[in-house]
Amino acid sequence: MAESMQGLKRTHRCTEVTKADIGETVTLMGWVQKRRNLGSLIFVDLRDRSGLMQIVFDENDIGSEGFEKAGTVRSEFVLAVVGRVEARSGAVNEKMSTGELEIRATQLRVLSEAETPPFPIEENSQTKEELRLKHRYLDLRRPDIQRNLMVKSRVATLSRNFMAEQGFLEIETPMLGKSTPEGARDYLVPSRIYPGSFFALPQSPQLFKQLLMCSGYDRYFQIARCFRDEDLRADRQPEFTQMDMELSFVDIDDVIEVNEKLLVHLWKEILGIDLKTPFRRMTWREAMDRFGSDKPDLRFGMELHNVSDTVKDSGFAVFTGAIAAGGSVRGINVKGQAGMPRKKIDSLTEFVKGYGLKGLAYLAVLEDGSYKSSFAKFMTPEELNSLVEAMDGERGDLLLFAADKDKLALETMGALRCELARRLELIDQSKFEFLWVVEFPLLEYSEEEGRFTAMHHPFTMPMEEDLPYINTDPGRVRAKAYDIVLNGCEIGGGSVRIHQNDIQEKMFECLGFTKEQAQEQFSFLLNAFKYGVPPHAGLAYGLDRVVMLMLGLDSIRDVIAFPKVKDSSCLMTQAPAPVAAKQLEELGIQVKQS
Ligand code: ASP
């Protein structure tokens, strides 16, 4: 039967009790991790968010009624225990931070009984994630998840305080906004007052933070929930949290400076690690050429080589054909892997096929200096030698090549580079390699839509020296955009914004908007710009991702209290769910039966 606290007050969390408290009486409250009966003694490990404390029930201290009650408690019962702090009488438990202490109970209240949970509440749970997410309120009791959320809370608090010290104002922007055609798919919210009209949940506070700059707030910060109705990939969630900022009267270097300071502060405070600044910077072009990725993982080498010039006149038609068609041949040198069995090479070929590449050409430089290769018979010994030389190939190396359209060859080899590093365990997991990727293309051509789309968003400033090409050769225009990359993941991105109406108009033109369409969609921003707008720039982090990488975790769901699963549903609440006919009626909505 559940008892009340009856005036008891918790004095400590479990692990807040220290050796200095020996001899003192404390009151702890928490959940039963486990109970052991050893004849005249009952031991209970009590758990709260700080950790565990061993409680000893001895009939001599607690009396027969209390002792009997202690014998009935089971895992996940909620207890209040009053007792004396003592040095452990039995063996010290080195694994527990309170392993040298125990509490000799003098009072016990069972605040809540508990059914047997569907899975054990323990660190590094082996229980299937589906079951854990269904009972997330239990899963959230696990110490590792609790630690993750506590770190996330600290990151938020530290960031808020740091940004306030740097003169940033925390200002909220609306959740109910207007749907805009650019970017990902919006989550829509039907309006009851205007049947047939919809709000959109924000994909980011982008336009509002730019308006705040127009209104003179000059440094804005917000930890903002954002929504994107995309098909979920492994590390995405339909709702996620951005640490968002915007600054007036600044250029790229100013944004980078403040953000390096913020990241240094967070890594120092939370992990005790001194990050070296300035972080490396690399242009998008260089990142693509050297790593086949706009978010290169710099914890290992294995860079890509462009061997197109070396093989363009060779006898291997797969190479020459790709180059003649305007593509390229990109290779990676997998050091010391010349002996990789054929089966493994085949599985790499399967891997690249998943990216759309037709095949993977290989050349192994054997220990005796001879070559074993899928294409040796098509090339002369001289051609092979110069290819090996261009790849810095040495005895024992395995050289892998992709020949195709440039973008496909690059991206596939970039992905293969990371896959090989994982399989060969080349990644130093203790490293944090930060990188700014700069000078992104302003636009990218979408075959699907038959037009250019903004690579970042339509408000990103082109680089001044590329402005003359914006109408004649939009594809070559670079943007004043930057991403902050950590260990091969983009953790944030931003740009200097267009603050001149004429450039903004040109940008809309490039994106295929008529003047009227641009006015209709963005009139409030364009109008605001007419009344005095400062040059401004900003950046947003994916907070969940920052915390995930900081803690070396693989899943974003481990840093979100109530995450969604792959199909964007919530296993615990069963959202989304149908609503009552009356609700639909009020909204003027009729659901099509499919
Ligand atoms: N709003 C942008 C985004 O969500 C970030 C920025 O440009 O500040 O990616």
pLDDT at 234: 64
Q: Are 79 and 53 in contact (CB under 8 A)?
A: no
Name the nearest CA neighbour of 589 among 229, 200, 192.
192
> Would the CB of 540 count as within 6 Å of ligand 1?
yes
Instruction: Take atom 7 of ligand 1 and give the residue whose Cα is closest.
Output: 494
Atom of ligand 1 nearest to the CA of 203: 4
Instruction: Take atom 9 of ligand 1 and give the residue whose Cα is closest.
Output: 493
Q: Which residues contact 551 (CB under 8 A, 6 or more apart)?
A: 148, 151, 559
> Would the CB of 495 count as within 6 Å of ligand 1?
yes
Overall domain count for the chain: 3
Does residue 122 fall inside a structural domain? no
Chain CA centroid to CA 371, Å: 42
Name the nearest CA neighbour of 41 among 94, 105, 95.
105
Does residue 377 fall inside a structural domain? yes
> Would the CB of 222 count as within 6 Å of ligand 1?
no
Q: Are 175 and 169 in contact (CB under 8 A)?
A: no
Q: What is the 594 CA–ligand 1 centroid distance (Å)?
A: 37
Does residue 485 fall inside a structural domain? yes
Domain containing 307: what range? 300-423
Q: What is the 493 CA–ligand 1 centroid distance (Å)?
A: 6
Residue 327 belongs to domain with CATH number: 3.30.1360.30
**153 and 253, same domain (yes or no):** yes
Distance from C-alpha of 557 to C-alpha of 280, rounded to nearest angstrom = 29
Domain closes at, from 423, 454, 469: 423
**258 and 338, same domain (yes or no):** no
**408 and 453, same domain (yes or no):** no
- 31: enclosing H helix or E strand: strand 25-38
**319 and 418, same domain (yes or no):** yes
Residue 51 belongs to domain with CATH number: 2.40.50.140
Token pair belonging to 369: 């200096």
Q: What is the 539 CA–ligand 1 centroid distance (Å)?
A: 6
> Would the CB of 494 count as within 6 Å of ligand 1?
yes
The answer to pTM > 0.85 is: yes
Atom of ligand 1 nearest to the CA of 539: 8
Does residue 197 fall inside a structural domain? yes
> Would the CB of 538 count as within 6 Å of ligand 1?
yes
- Three-state SS for 96? coil
Does residue 358 fall inside a structural domain? yes
Give the pairing type, strands 434-438 and 280-283: parallel
Q: What is the 491 CA–ligand 1 centroid distance (Å)?
A: 11
pLDDT at 208: 97
**322 and 268, same domain (yes or no):** no
Residue 183 belongs to domain with CATH number: 3.30.930.10
Atom of ligand 1 nearest to the CA of 244: 8
Atom of ligand 1 nearest to the CA of 538: 8
pLDDT at 97: 85
Amino acid 363 reads L
**445 and 357, same domain (yes or no):** no
**238 and 150, same domain (yes or no):** yes
**450 and 502, same domain (yes or no):** yes
Chain CA centroid to CA 26, Å: 41
Give the pairing type, strands 25-38 and 78-87: antiparallel
pLDDT at 366: 97
Does residue 507 fall inside a structural domain? yes
> Would the CB of 202 count as within 6 Å of ligand 1?
no
Does residue 81 fall inside a structural domain? yes
**469 and 508, same domain (yes or no):** yes
* Residues across the chain: 594
Name the nearest CA neighbour of 198 among 213, 185, 179, 182.
179
Q: What is the 269 CA–ligand 1 centroid distance (Å)?
A: 26
Domain closes at, from 397, 423, 449: 423
Distance from C-alpha of 202 to C-alpha of 174, rounded to nearest angstrom = 8
> Would the CB of 206 count as within 6 Å of ligand 1?
yes
Q: What is the 241 CA–ligand 1 centroid distance (Å)?
A: 12
What is the DSSP code string of 330-391? Answer: EEEEETT-TT--HHHHHHHHHHHHTTT-S--EEEEE-TTS-EEESSGGGS-HHHHHHHHHHT
**327 and 388, same domain (yes or no):** yes
Instruction: Take atom 8 of ligand 1 and give the residue whose Cα is closest.
Output: 539
Walking along the chain (594 residues) 10 residues at a time, the average pLDDT comes out as 90 97 98 95 97 97 97 98 93 87 98 97 95 98 98 98 98 95 89 96 96 98 96 82 98 98 98 98 98 98 98 96 97 97 97 96 97 96 97 98 97 98 97 98 90 91 95 94 98 97 90 88 90 97 98 96 94 96 95 86
**447 and 404, same domain (yes or no):** no
**481 and 512, same domain (yes or no):** yes
Q: What is the 558 CA–ligand 1 centroid distance (Å)?
A: 24
Does residue 576 fall inside a structural domain? no
Domain closes at, from 389, 423, 457: 423
For 7, which DSSP code?
T
For 592, which DSSP code?
P
Instruction: Take atom 6 of ligand 1 and give the residue whose Cα is closest.
Output: 494
Q: What is the 538 CA–ligand 1 centroid distance (Å)?
A: 7
Give the Å distances, CA to CA, from 522 to 175, 412, 461, 495, 514.
17, 37, 17, 19, 12
Burial of 520 per CB tally in 10 Å (0-12, 13-18, 19+): exposed
Q: What is the 430 CA–ligand 1 centroid distance (Å)?
A: 29
